[in-house]
């Protein structure tokens, strides 16, 4: 047992070191707390995203990637939304969501609507991979939306509605990752 604990400690030190290197390469600055959050999230997500009926083939390099179905990809989407919301300064909770008519906005709203059902099913069936897959899909959908539509530069009423939409998206990403025991970063 003690040998396994030492192996696990060394593995996690390596994961944190690689996360630190990746963050430094991407953002030219890092702190130990961020590196730990990314590394621990990458390891947890890399394991939890796979159905318990299947064997897990874990590759640290792939798990720490900011592209594809990984925790850093999802954490980055969360940080991007946080950055937009910080620039927006204010969220109008009474924004008119009926103004959201773009295909990607409707798809994002529908995906958000599925969160309670996914979490209930995941809990009842003891299948955390359902939440992992869902949160990844949500991050993907947000990134698609972000690349296609102006948020902060849209006219005021649509801007307010879009800010409210991405705020809800951010909260659900945080809740989903929290259920998996994975932390988030306000900025990366």
Cα separation, 118 vs 23, whole angstroms? 31
Better pLDDT: 26 or 138: 138
pLDDT for 4 equals 65
What integer best gives the mean pLDDT of the chain? 92
H/E run at residue 182? none
Q: Per-residue confidence at 61, pLDDT binned at 50, 70, 90?
A: confident
Cα 187 to Cα 68: distance, rounded to the nearest angstrom: 19
Short-list 45, 67, 16, CA closest to 176 = 45
> What's the whole-model pTM score?
0.91
Which of 3-7, 105-109, 176-180, 184-188 bottoms out in mean pLDDT, i.e. has the lowest?
3-7
């Amino acid at each position: 047992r003690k040998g396994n604990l030492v192996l696990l400690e060394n593995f996690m030190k390596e994961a944190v070191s690689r996360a630190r290197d990746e963050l430094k390469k991407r953002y030219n600055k890092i702190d130990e707390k961020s590196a730990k959050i990314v590394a621990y999230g990458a390891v947890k997500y890399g394991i939890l995203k796979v159905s318990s009926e299947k064997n897990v083939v874990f590759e640290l390099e792939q798990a720490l990637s900011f592209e594809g179905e990984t925790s850093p990809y999802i954490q980055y989407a969360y940080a991007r939304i946080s950055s937009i919301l910080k620039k927006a300064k204010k969220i109008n909770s009474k924004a008119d969501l009926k103004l959201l008519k773009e295909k990607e906005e409707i798809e994002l709203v529908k995906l958000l609507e599925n969160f309670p059902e996914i979490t209930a099913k995941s809990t009842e069936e003891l299948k955390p991979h359902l939440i992992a897959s869902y949160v990844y899909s949500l991050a993907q959908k947000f990134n698609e939306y972000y690349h296609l539509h102006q948020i902060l530069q849209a006219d005021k009423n649509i801007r307010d509605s879009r800010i409210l939409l991405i705020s809800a998206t951010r909260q659900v990403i945080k809740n989903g990752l929290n259920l998996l025991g994975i932390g988030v970063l306000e900025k990366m």
